[in-house]
Chains A and B, each alone.
Chain A
């Protein structure tokens, strides 16, 4: 009892003292690297994180416990379940690990709170896709729910997205990537260059697209535009007429027997490809790796029209305050500090702050994953399994080549409800 009291008063004293120091430090501009304010108390904090992406990675929770003492309780769910839980059970989590298009749905429900960017030490180093929307000052912002369009709100209590960066950031990016079609180079028998190639009659009964409406519709849009069926105003926010035309095109293809199956989960896509049921299909990058690791050739084919990108981030629950909120900021700052970034980059994803991640990777790893250079030695995943041998080059090339060629982002549309009705019609037809 006595001891706890002593501990507390000490904590408060430290806080006062450090407050002064931090103020001084702010003035001098050297904010980074000051000792953790709540270091003593934070060790006992438990943060409940749930979501789709990085919440699947227990190694991050273990490392976090080791470095900060914060206990992360991770729960992994699929994106539909995440959306549901984020909105309907806002007190069941402290940190939501969600995708940007989910953020567009969930943030307006008032269950999350924005972060104060002044408390995020490496905010300026975050890849500008997530702040200004432009990878380089000259790039154009892709269609769809681009992360910068839902990245900021007007104020601490606001649920309205701001059109330009403000001090209030909705989500810290975790992982993101550029998706395209996966192919079996040994079975397609010809070069694949465009999204429309999936509709080639030569591949009748040997193709697949994913049956998650909000993502599948984007792949469909890339295909339709490539095939010259339709030219969209904004693929990420279609009009009813555009949706009708897209779905009609899909229904025709389905009736003609173009598709072998529609997949909904990662393992389904791996099995379809590995078993030779399909030779060209929508795919996610780790699925391509999984097929290749079975010794089956599989290429994540770059296409002329560009990539469909996606990204996820960590958002803070509205109910977080006091010590827990401080711990959450501490966690986020740790998250950007490099170890996690390198860990994620090594799995073929991209991370939020590249500069710090680089410090935790070897030159060969950095060259292979980020610069599109041939591997010098074996490239291993974080578990130590060999992913690629010397000489291998990443499909699609460097970070700039891949993320610079994004045509659209996963999106949620204004006509969402209508789109889903039509999508169901396509599946039922």
Chain B
């Protein structure tokens, strides 16, 4: 009995915080998503029009597909980079000190704000930017490359730059926990480097890969600043749709979109967790 009280007492602070700052706001969003609205105000009601207008509009589907595409491309590139960097740190750098130093170097970009790191790409990639000027003066191109900025390329580049570390950290964390004797045993049993990687390291690094994937996908799905700045306002994302709706005081429409996005992201995460049981493998 005493144990139960203590357990409840220990769990209650977090439970209360989650209740107040997670469940109540999400509940509010769900409630508001059924409200009706005009050009300046919203009215308590229970209508499905917000969902109907959202789900029956081809723009919504297009935007969701576009966002999913951004998420998929970013995820794939982040995974490739994240896995390689983590693998190098965990298996090719032998001293623990050096590992820590190199790992800290990876985090240095995070000392400046997201927005600044993103904006600094703009003068670099622009028509008369540093990259184009350099390529022109080297004679590699005879006219500026315009796809570099205000394009899907620029958006994905910024995403990868911003979020690759989200992939490095958990994968690295999983890899350093791998018992080295397993790798040795595999080698002794005659496995090639490739076989070690495929049959030992990747399966054991799966929880890290899953956590990194969840982080990257969740962040990209909800983003709007990167898309707006790097596409020069020419691309859409689900987040931007919501911002646009809110800026026109169409809160219920934005709330409905938020609920749909939440469901989509939760489904994606559920799918990932079906592939990898994080808790079992940690």
User: Chain A interface (Cβ within 8 Å of chain B)?
Assistant: 80-81, 83-84, 87-88, 105-106, 108-109, 205, 208, 211, 213, 254, 259-264, 271, 275-277, 412, 416-417, 420-421, 424-425, 427-429
Residues in B whose Cβ lies below 8 Å from that of A421: 57, 59
In the complex, whether B222 has a CB less than 8 A from a CB of chain A is no
Contact of B128 among A88, A109, A275, A416 (CB under 8 A): A275
| Interface segment, one of B5-13, B187-195, B205-213, B241-249 | B241-249
Contact of B59 among A83, A264, A425 (CB under 8 A): A425
Establish whether residues B127 and A275, one from each chain, have CB atoms under 8 Å apart when the complex forms. yes
Establish whether residues B66 and A83, one from each chain, have CB atoms under 8 Å apart when the complex forms. no
In the complex, whether B233 has a CB less than 8 A from a CB of chain A is yes
Establish whether residues B127 and A83, one from each chain, have CB atoms under 8 Å apart when the complex forms. no
Contact of A264 among B57, B62, B233, B241 (CB under 8 A): B233
Taken residue by residue from 131 to 155, chain B's Cβ proximity to chain A (1 for < 8 Å, 0 otherwise) reads as: 0000000000000001001100000
In the complex, whether B173 has a CB less than 8 A from a CB of chain A is no
Contacts A87-B249, A428-B63, A428-B66 given; does A260 touch B123 at CB 8 Å: no
In the complex, whether B113 has a CB less than 8 A from a CB of chain A is no
Contacts A80-B248, A83-B249, A87-B249 given; does A271 touch B234 at CB 8 Å: no
A121 to chain B, nearest CB (A): 33
In the complex, whether B39 has a CB less than 8 A from a CB of chain A is yes
Residues in B whose Cβ lies below 8 Å from that of A88: 41, 249
Nearest-CB residue, chain B, relative to A425: B59
Q: Which secondary structure dominates chain A's binding surface? A: helix
Contact residues on B (Cβ < 8 Å of other chain), bracket:
20 to 34
Pick the most buried of A106, A261, A427: most chain B CB atoms within 10 A of its CB. Answer: A427
A to B CB contacts below 8 Å, 16 in the list: A80-B247, A80-B248, A87-B40, A109-B40, A208-B232, A254-B234, A261-B231, A262-B232, A263-B233, A264-B233, A417-B248, A420-B244, A421-B57, A427-B234, A428-B59, A428-B235
Residues in B whose Cβ lies below 8 Å from that of A108: 40
Contact of A424 among B128, B235, B236 (CB under 8 A): B236
A80 to chain B, nearest CB (A): 4
Residues in A whose Cβ lies below 8 Å from that of B150: 260-261, 277
Residues in A whose Cβ lies below 8 Å from that of B123: 275
Contact of A260 among B232, B236, B248 (CB under 8 A): B232
Taken residue by residue from 94 to 125, chain B's Cβ proximity to chain A (1 for < 8 Å, 0 otherwise) reads as: 00000000000000000000000000001100
Establish whether residues A420 and B248, one from each chain, have CB atoms under 8 Å apart when the complex forms. yes
Establish whether residues B249 and A427, one from each chain, have CB atoms under 8 Å apart when the complex forms. no
Establish whether residues A271 and B236, one from each chain, have CB atoms under 8 Å apart when the complex forms. no
Establish whether residues A276 and B233, one from each chain, have CB atoms under 8 Å apart when the complex forms. no
Q: How far is the CA of A163 from the CA of B129 in the complex (A)?
A: 53
Establish whether residues A416 and B233, one from each chain, have CB atoms under 8 Å apart when the complex forms. no
Q: How far is the CA of A263 from the CA of B236 in the complex (A)?
A: 14
Taken residue by residue from 46 to 84, chain B's Cβ proximity to chain A (1 for < 8 Å, 0 otherwise) reads as: 000000000001010011001000000000000000000
In the complex, whether B228 has a CB less than 8 A from a CB of chain A is yes
Q: Which secondary structure dominates chain B's binding surface? A: loop
Establish whether residues B234 and A262, one from each chain, have CB atoms under 8 Å apart when the complex forms. yes
Nearest-CB residue, chain B, relative to A108: B40
B101 to chain A, nearest CB (A): 38
User: Chain B interface (Cβ within 8 Å of chain A)?
Assistant: 39-41, 57, 59, 62-63, 66, 122-123, 126-129, 146, 149-150, 228, 231-236, 240-241, 244, 246-250
A187 to chain B, nearest CB (A): 11
Establish whether residues A427 and B39, one from each chain, have CB atoms under 8 Å apart when the complex forms. no
Q: How far is the CA of A420 from the CA of B63 in the complex (A)?
A: 16
Taking A264-B233, A276-B126 as given, write out 17 further A-B residue pairs in contact, using a Cβ cutoff of 8 Å, ordered by the A residue number. Answer: A81-B247, A83-B40, A87-B40, A87-B41, A88-B249, A208-B232, A259-B234, A262-B232, A263-B232, A271-B122, A275-B127, A417-B39, A421-B59, A428-B59, A428-B62, A428-B236, A429-B62
Q: How far is the CA of A254 from the CA of B234 in the complex (A)?
A: 9
B229 to chain A, nearest CB (A): 9
Q: How far is the CA of A416 from the CA of B38 in the complex (A)?
A: 10
Nearest-CB residue, chain B, relative to A264: B233
Counting from the closest, the 4 A-B pairs by CB-CB distance are A261-B232, A262-B233, A80-B247, A428-B236
Nearest-CB residue, chain A, relative to B233: A262
A275 to chain B, nearest CB (A): 5
Establish whether residues A276 and B41, one from each chain, have CB atoms under 8 Å apart when the complex forms. no
Establish whether residues A105 and B234, one from each chain, have CB atoms under 8 Å apart when the complex forms. no
Contacts A106-B40, A261-B150, A424-B244 given; does A277 touch B233 at CB 8 Å: no
Contacts A261-B234, A275-B127, A276-B127 given; does A205 touch B228 at CB 8 Å: no
Q: How far is the CA of A275 from the CA of B121 in the complex (A)?
A: 13
Q: How far is the CA of A213 from the CA of B63 in the complex (A)?
A: 18
Establish whether residues A276 and B232, one from each chain, have CB atoms under 8 Å apart when the complex forms. no
Establish whether residues B249 and A84, one from each chain, have CB atoms under 8 Å apart when the complex forms. yes
A264 to chain B, nearest CB (A): 6
Q: How far is the CA of A69 from the CA of B231 in the complex (A)?
A: 48
Q: How far is the CA of A108 from the CA of B41 in the complex (A)?
A: 11
A314 to chain B, nearest CB (A): 20
Establish whether residues A261 and B146, one from each chain, have CB atoms under 8 Å apart when the complex forms. no
Establish whether residues A424 and B59, one from each chain, have CB atoms under 8 Å apart when the complex forms. yes
A220 to chain B, nearest CB (A): 14
Residues in B whose Cβ lies below 8 Å from that of A208: 232
Nearest-CB residue, chain B, relative to A422: B59
Residues in B whose Cβ lies below 8 Å from that of A427: 233-234, 236, 240
Pick the most buried of A211, A213, A428: most chain B CB atoms within 10 A of its CB. Answer: A428
Residues in B whose Cβ lies below 8 Å from that of A106: 40
Q: How far is the CA of A412 from the CA of B57 in the complex (A)?
A: 23
A140 to chain B, nearest CB (A): 28
Q: How far is the CA of A264 from the CA of B233 in the complex (A)?
A: 8
Establish whether residues A211 and B233, one from each chain, have CB atoms under 8 Å apart when the complex forms. yes
Nearest-CB residue, chain A, relative to B53: A421
Nearest-CB residue, chain A, relative to B122: A271
Establish whether residues A275 and B41, one from each chain, have CB atoms under 8 Å apart when the complex forms. no
Establish whether residues A276 and B128, one from each chain, have CB atoms under 8 Å apart when the complex forms. yes
Nearest-CB residue, chain A, relative to B231: A261
Nearest-CB residue, chain B, relative to A79: B247
Contacts A87-B249, A424-B244 given; does A416 touch B232 at CB 8 Å: no
Establish whether residues A105 and B40, one from each chain, have CB atoms under 8 Å apart when the complex forms. yes
Q: How far is the CA of A427 from the CA of B243 in the complex (A)?
A: 13
B279 to chain A, nearest CB (A): 39
Q: How far is the CA of A424 from the CA of B129 in the complex (A)?
A: 30
B249 to chain A, nearest CB (A): 6
